[in-house]
Amino acid sequence: MRRSVGSTCRSSRATDRPGVMHPAEPRPGGVLSFWRWEKMSEQDVFMRRALELARANIAAGGRPFGAVLVKDGKVLAEAANGIHASHDPTDHAEMRAIRLASAVLGSPRLDGCSVYASGHPCPMCLAAMYLCGIQQAWFAYSNEDAEPFGLSTGAVYARLAEGPAAPASGLCQWKPAGEQGLYAEWGMKP
């Protein structure tokens, strides 16, 4: 229906007058909000892209996880979870994005980068972020949101919180008799 005089309701094509925005018209970097375009924040743009990757991955038979890795407002890498295709349990979206960004920069250090992830990063991905210098990660869906679907990593976080010395950690040191100097060898390389 067309907007009538005195009416506050509009249809999807309320008017054809110039300067009036129609919801079907795309605008880069913007989002339609009650018949007007508003500029999205960088956070919104990057997070929406991570969510888009996650939804595309669902359609491809994968898990609902996507990640975008950003530096100085520019996307360095983006990826979706690849476990369904690779059968590699470490093939998480964040890990893939880290690998791709490291290749782009030619460095294992990703200082100054941020990650936008569709879901709460697992401990492995978070540890990888810490190890390569990523200082900030944003996520859309929490472990609590993921729990009813069997996608939460909250139990892994709880197990890790017990510490590496906890009997349930499964972590044990075993150095063969006579073994020594491995790290010193590395420290002496040119």
Residues assigned a catalytic role: 94
Give CA–CA dist 32/180, Å, rounded: 64
Write phi, then psi, for 182 (nearest 5 degrees).
-55, -50
3-state secondary structure of 185: helix
Which one-letter amino acid corresponds to residue 145? D
Smallest CA-to-CA distance from 51 within 154, 129, 145 is with 145
